[in-house]
Amino acid sequence: MNGYFQLQIDEKGVSLLLCPPIGDGEKIRQAELKEYLNIIGVPYDVVALNSALCSLEEEETVLFLAPMKLSPVDEKCDIQVMADKMTAILRIFPPSAGGLATSKAHIMELINKAKIKAGIDEEAIKMAVEQRPYCTDIVVARGKLPTAGRDASIVYHFDTNNNSRPELREDGTVDFFKLNKLHQCTQGQVLAEIIPEERGENGFDVYGNVLLAREVHKMTFSHGRNLEISEDRLQLKSMVDGHASLVNGTVFVTDVYSVENVGTATGNIEYHGNVEVKGNVCENFSIKTDGNVMVSGVVEGATIEAGGDIIIARGMHGQNKGKLKAGGNVVAKFISAAEVEAEGYVEAEQILNAKVSAGTTVNADAGKGLITGGRIVAKNAVNARNVGSPMGAATIIEVGTDLSAKKRLAELQKSVGEKSKTIPQMKKVVEDTAKKLKAGVRLTPEQIKNARMLQMTLADAQAKVQEELNEIETLDKMLKVHGEARINVRGTMYQGVSVSILGTSMNIKSEYTFCTLIKKGADIASTTL
């Protein structure tokens, strides 16, 4: 039971009965008591009142306030709506002797004056009238938060993991012939299912304002050829025997396009699906596909772009013009004088004078495990046996950098900048039109139509800017994180290597062996591997 106060009126004047709380009850609120006395119009000694409240422990205390005549004071009620508009609180203050008790009708009148319309708790009001818990928070109205609902989702019934690394032999070399990660499927096989969305329920606050539930997102299948969607639109089935793959959210089923060599006999190859080259890819030729590329021989000064993985069993002689670009991973015996970009990891036993960027890691820790010359950029880590050379070959290693995120951030910043120039112009035209209409200016139907279209365009542009600003914030935070960025060296890192970790750079002036380089504070530190 909470502590409470009550006025006592007799021939001597006005006194105040102070009752301490019982058990875990709340103490009398000083501010509330003073406000009550001010409203009634009873003078009081602030120091004496504060002292009485502070010394109030287990027994009641009577504090004389003033020698004045005062009519009996009725029971008083106060209604407060919380800042979030989701809760209305009733507090009842006791009457003096001879004062009137409040009624349900009076409480309802106060609720109506406060414009409370929804979530009214009749039982709580009944309890308040019957039990009269003084100086106690009684929730007489409660809003309802909207339920979240659930977005639709897609469940895939084949292995969509594109991050498995190639198998290492006992001697530390890579088994490049066990890299086929294609997922076989049969005709009629269900490859994906949609779990339908569930709509949430709207809520409301105590004023009766509707709180809209979040819009739930539906899902549809994105797929290539050789696939069909069930009548209920919830299943994706293969129409042929083939190989299933997931590339940037799109399901593909294809037979592997297989050739002996890519050269004059084939010309450049463009294909929707997986490509297998049993021999070599000759100089100046190219392969472009949205699937995986498997080359059993050598790539010489050629270009390969794949939506999935690129696997080169023997290696890449880039000749300073060859390029590899993969939406998944790149695996090769060696990479020499080439430009390589992968959304996933890059794996090679030797990387020589190459420009390599990876969305996760660059691994050169099998076989000779050598990185020398060129520039290596990885989001998470670079793993190698040896980095640089005894001759001091200029080699740059950079980790903690997400190039795709940086590129996207630049695009978004440019887009927001452009829209920020046009939005004020559109806003001014819309506002000027609104002023004309308010002033009674008659506009033609065409002018009104154009004004409405411009208003819709403005709203779309403002919404798009907000969406892009949210993405900018997310990307900015992401680019500042990557605290696990590191360089692992299982052999030797030679003098002449330049390293950068999370934006902090250092030139290697003496050899480092069997170590891990990480960013520590504002510096780069070395720890034993």
What is the model's pLDDT at position 350? 96
Residue 17 lies in a domain: yes
Nearest to 143 by CA among 125, 168, 118: 118
> Which of 461, 480, 499 represents a domain boundary (last residue)?
480
Residue 375: is its pLDDT beyond 60? yes
Predicted confidence band at 160 (pLDDT cuts at 50, 70, 90)? confident
Kindly state the average pLDDT of the residues 283-304. Answer: 94
Residue 146 lies in a domain: no
**In this structure, are 339 and 414 located in the same domain?**
no
What is the model's pLDDT at position 483? 53
Alpha-carbon distance values, 341 to 117, 241, 330, 373 (Å): 61, 32, 8, 17
What is the model's pLDDT at position 57? 85
Q: Helices (DSSP H) in 377-444: which residue ranges?
A: 403-438
Residue 50 lies in a domain: yes
How many other β-carbons are positioned within 10 Å of the β-carbon of residue 104?
13
pLDDT-above-70 percentage for the chain: 94
The Cα 203–Cα 119 span in angstroms is 10
Give the residue numbers spanning the domain of 321: 256-344
Q: SS3 for 362? A: strand
> Which of 437, 454, 480 represents a domain boundary (last residue)?
480
Of residues 253 and 127, more confidently modeled: 127
Residue 313 lies in a domain: yes
Residue 149 lies in a domain: no
Nearest to 363 by CA among 329, 337, 339: 329
Give the H or E element holding residue 63: strand 61-66
Predicted confidence band at 85 (pLDDT cuts at 50, 70, 90)? very high
Alpha-carbon distance values, 297 to 182, 268, 281, 329, 334 (Å): 19, 17, 8, 18, 12
The Cα 395–Cα 191 span in angstroms is 45
User: Checking phi first, is residue 405 left (phi over 0); if not, alpha (psi -120 to 50) or beta?
Assistant: alpha
Of residues 528 and 327, more confidently modeled: 327
- Residues whose CB falls within 8 Å of the CB of residue 168, separated by 6 or more in sequence, listed in order: 174, 175, 366
Residue 216: is its pLDDT beyond 50? yes
- The mean pLDDT of the chain is 89
User: Checking phi first, is residue 361 left (phi over 0); if not, alpha (psi -120 to 50) or beta?
Assistant: beta
**In this structure, are 261 and 339 located in the same domain?**
yes
Residue 499 lies in a domain: no
Judge whether 217 and 206 are in contact, CB under 8 Å: no
How many other β-carbons are positioned within 10 Å of the β-carbon of residue 45?
13
Long-range contacts of range 503-512, CB-CB < 8 Å, 24 or more positions apart? 503/400, 508/388
Kindly state the average pLDDT of the residues 1-10. Answer: 92
Residue 515 lies in a domain: no
Chain segment 170-191, per-residue pLDDT in tens: 776 766 545 545 577 888 999 9
Chain segment 259-275, per-residue pLDDT in tens: 899 988 888 988 877 89
Lowest-confidence pick of 84-98, 166-180, 208-222:
166-180
Q: Please tell me the total count of domains within the chain.
A: 3
Residue 141: is its pLDDT beyond 90? yes
**In this structure, are 334 and 262 located in the same domain?**
yes
What is the model's pLDDT at position 469? 85
Q: SS3 for 267? A: coil
> Which of 437, 458, 480 represents a domain boundary (last residue)?
480
Judge whether 472 and 484 are in contact, CB under 8 Å: no
What is the model's pLDDT at position 28? 93
Output b/e per residue, 3-34; b: 16+ Cβ within 10 A. Answer: bbbbbbbeeeebbbebbbbeeebeebbeeebe
Residue 194 lies in a domain: no
Residue 514: is its pLDDT beyond 70? yes
Q: What is the DSSP letter of 317?
A: E
Kindly state the average pLDDT of the residues 412-421. Answer: 84
